[in-house]
Structure 1
Amino acid sequence: DGLPEALDGLAAPESVPARPPRPGWWPVAVLAQVAMTLLQVVGGIWLLGQVLGVCAPDLLPPVLLMLAGIAGGP
């Protein structure tokens, strides 16, 4: 008599597991990636400004900014 109910109980989905806790260094890593992404964006805007003639032409600083952002960012 109780077999169908018992099988339904076994087939019922378990509770959704909670997300595992993040390690303590996680916020620092996120902040570092945001900073590296901002370096890429600033370097790209600076480089674009030089290409369009808005800034004085000196390619090395914006390219180095972009490379630093690419090397350390996402």
Structure 2
Amino acid sequence: MTKRTNKELLGKGLKLMAGSLVCMFLGPITIHSAFKNQDKPLYIPVLIVGLAIAVGAIILAFKGMRKIMNSIF
């Protein structure tokens, strides 16, 4: 009996990786926007949101890779 790739788990992993890719672009853009507007009153909240998106991208990437590896092996 040979093991086969779990396609449902692979699909979930790819969805997580796609979400991570979106966050990988949104996070730095938001952080850059915050640093360009340091004199505005919303500087700190925008910076916090950007950092949260960047951390979310890292977490989604690790979860996605783990699901993909579990589906293959």
Task: Specify the TM-score bucket, using the shorter chain as the normaliser.
Answer: 0.5 to 0.7
What is residue 36 of structure 1 aligned with on the other side?
Answer: 20
**What is the SS of the residue equivalent to 1:42?**
helix
- Counterparts of 2:18 and 2:52 in 1: how far apart (Å)? 17
By relative contact order (CA 8 Å, sep 6+), the higher-ranking structure is 2
Match in the other structure for 1:73:
61
Structure 1: gaps of 5 or more residues:
1-19
Give the 3-state SS of the residue equivalent to 1:22 in structure 2: coil
User: Is 2:32 aligned against 1:48?
Assistant: yes
**Which TM-score applies when normalising by structure 1?**
0.59
| Bigger-Rg structure (1/2) | 1
The number of residue pairs the alignment matches comes to 55
Q: What is the aligned-residue RMSD (CA, Å)?
A: 2.5
TM-score normalised over the length of structure 2: 0.60
Structure 1: distance between partners of 2:48 and 2:14: 27
Q: Which runs of 4+ in 1 moved over 4 A?
A: none
More helix by share: 2
